[in-house]
A and B are shown apart, each in its own frame.
Chain A
């Protein structure tokens, strides 16, 4: 799975998350959108739900990977900081698992 495909899965997961959100609480959906931490748009519960949705989408594509991370909740170093950092992180996990 290449970076573009991973980015598409993340973008789709953000769209899915927006379906459960009110109009005044919509997430920004973009290739460089912030996710968690400084300037992030998701709280800890929101990022957990998003990551589980992404894991599920990856599994449906035949990539069973668990996106646990030692620095998941780090405000500055979280791999879940924004869409680009998450794309890189998922790519790394897919290569190592």
Chain B
């Protein structure tokens, strides 16, 4: 087997979209560093070029240790995909403060912590990239998803400002906002609600993980070195 092409760190890699992205980039011949809060044997991927770490993205010291491991083992990082996220579909009036704090910490603070910790290693890449995960919940201003949408909105602003600050280091920072995808994140959301949501899209169907991978591919491509601070939504929203 040839040497891996790139080193890609994906958060929330044990399931759903993160797992799909990890398997997708492994199939492309990349080395994938996956991290998640869990490391159950059945949730990790068995591949020569896959490394799995049990890390809570909100735990800054643990994240720094993870990046030190990557530094020791690989010596560089080409792309960081901040995928880890949680949701809680709940109206503002009924959302416990602790739930709101947990969503903001995992979605926004986790993205901040990883991005900050990865700068040093990303600088060693010839095409360093940060890709964050937003959601169409932001442009749709979805009722019943106030905290989740706000956390993704914060990620979008972080993406745009980080693009300004990191451009001098050659690091691009962009975000993709998927439409609903049939993953664990949507468990507990009624089918009727999802149907109404999808109907608002210009392309009224659920997305596949491969649709997200396609956008991530675009951001990661070396020729995309002038693309930064952008948010691309699937389905024709935004």
Q: Which residues of A contact B (CB under 8 A)?
A: 45, 48-49, 52, 55-56, 59, 64, 66, 68
Contacts and interface: CB of A to CB of B under 8 A. Distances in A.
Nearest to A44: B165
A52 B119 contact: yes
A20 B68 CA distance: 26
A22 B169 CA distance: 18
Contacts of A49: 168-169
A64 B64 contact: yes
B37 interface: no
A55 B116 CA distance: 12
A49 to B, nearest CB: 7
A49 B120 CA distance: 10
A62 to B, nearest CB: 11
20 contacts: A45-B165, A45-B168, A48-B165, A49-B168, A49-B169, A52-B119, A52-B120, A52-B123, A55-B120, A56-B120, A59-B68, A59-B71, A59-B120, A64-B64, A64-B68, A66-B60, A66-B64, A66-B116, A66-B117, A68-B116
Given A52-B119, A66-B60, A66-B117, 12 more contacts: A45-B168, A48-B165, A55-B120, A56-B120, A59-B68, A59-B71, A59-B120, A64-B64, A64-B68, A66-B64, A66-B116, A68-B116
A66 B64 CA distance: 9
Contacts of B117: 66
